Copies of this chain bind each other. A is one copy, B any other.
Amino acid sequence: MVPKLRRPLKIGILGGGQLSLMLAEAAMKMGIETRILAEGPDAPVAQVFAHCTLGSVKDPASLRTFFSQVDLLIFENEFVNCEVLKGAARGLSVEFIPSLDTISQVQDKLTQKEWLGRLGVPSADYYELNPEYSLEAEVRACLEKFNGQCVLKWAKLGYDGKGVMPLASGKLDWVRIHSFVNSAKERRSRVFAERKISFKRELALVAVYSRNEEFHTYPLVISEQKEGICSLVYGPAVALGVDQRLEQQACHYAKSLAKALSLYGSFAIEFFETDENEILVNEIAPRIHNSGHYTQDACATDQFENHLRAVLGVPIGSVQHSPGFAMLNVLGPKAPLGEEGLTALPKPSSNTYLHWYRKKQILPGRKLGHLNGIADATRELPQLIEELKVIEQDWIKQSFDINVSKKGENECLRPSL
């Protein structure tokens, strides 16, 4: 099935954040005509890429104008209103990849769980809160079901620790719980409770499924979070003590999902590796994902180029990887640096690489960029991870020094990037 398309083919990307920026970087080198709908001139991609239209992904009029200019539409993330998009695209020839049906199946974690169940893919037990019953009663019911410990989650629009709230019997903050559930309601999201999983490690897998039905996986990796935000990713997991069987299972699950949902492009699955040496799906992201950023420097083809190859039906590029690799997210430090902190960039070393998102404001915990590192062997990984952390710490220290010692001056020492 080869689509008929106007020429030259134009790909539209919805959203102007770092994932869109990195997709644009891949499209740039590949010669693909790209148009991007970005929120404003300060959006990461709008600062450097020429073909950005400024407008909200929530505004039907902006969407419609944008859709009329492109042939294929891909997503930076799944946090979109599918009904609004469908309405805005009515009568136009734009094609969404993955389809809006697929996006709506995956963007809701409860619908995700139903799919997972149907496909025999294990995930944590859950309990959907019935909004018609009293919240207190529902919370107590699920705590009872899950032996006094569970995690409350929004079904939709949660990310980076948002939309997640751990609960434990006897330590319930009802004000926070009510506010959490009300926030979900405002987002038209259901709420559910999930059994608190006792896990050894969190794992992640990025897979690519192309419109030619080609399917490939990058290696299973280990990921670490800080306050719900991805902090560190490294691998390959199987060289670090994770059972090969678990990687095989992860790949099998990814393939089942890709085929069942027509989930075209690069996508990610996050897993818990349980104390019982099994994996449970934690979350699915139907798109390029933070846990695959290491592919930019550690793999023959990165997740961004492969996302574009997959949606265009071009052969998926080799997923070969370096023997060891790590990715550290550079997050906004807790102590505010202000505007000044932006003047210096982290300074990579010989085998490490900086990817920087050009955020205009450094907020605590905000993803500002990431550092990738590659190693010739997995035994070098502890040292590599230490190296990444030192680069980040030096950057924070340097930024503070600049702010403290150079305040009010127009010039500053800027020995590096």
Instruction: Count residues of A near B (Cβ-Cβ below 8 Å).
Output: 62
CB–CB A315/B350 < 8 A: yes
**What are the residues of chain B within 8 A of A4 when measuring CB–CB?**
411-413
A349 at the interface (CB under 8 A from B): yes
Within 8 A of B (CB), among A194-251: none
A306 to B: closest C-beta gap in Å: 10
**What are the residues of chain B within 8 A of A169 when measuring CB–CB?**
none
**What are the residues of chain B within 8 A of A348 when measuring CB–CB?**
309, 314-315, 317
CB–CB A414/B5 < 8 A: yes
A309 to B: closest C-beta gap in Å: 8
Question: Which single member of B6, B51, B301, B347 contacts A48 (CB below 8 Å)?
Answer: B51
CB–CB A417/B29 < 8 A: no
A415 at the interface (CB under 8 A from B): yes
CB–CB A313/B28 < 8 A: no
CB–CB B30/A48 < 8 A: no
**What are the residues of chain B within 8 A of A357 when measuring CB–CB?**
31
* Contact of A411 with B6 at beta-carbon distance under 8 Å, contacts A300-B297, A350-B316 already known: yes
Q: List 16 A-B contacts (CB under 8 A).
A: A3-B414, A4-B411, A7-B411, A7-B414, A9-B417, A31-B354, A46-B50, A47-B50, A49-B49, A49-B50, A50-B50, A300-B322, A315-B349, A315-B350, A318-B350, A318-B374
Residues of A within 8 A of B (CB): 2-9, 21-22, 25, 28-32, 34, 46-52, 296-297, 300-301, 305, 309, 312-318, 322, 342-343, 345, 347-351, 353-358, 369, 374, 410-417
**What are the 4 closest A-B residue pairs judged by CB atoms, nearest first?**
A31-B356, A7-B343, A2-B415, A315-B350
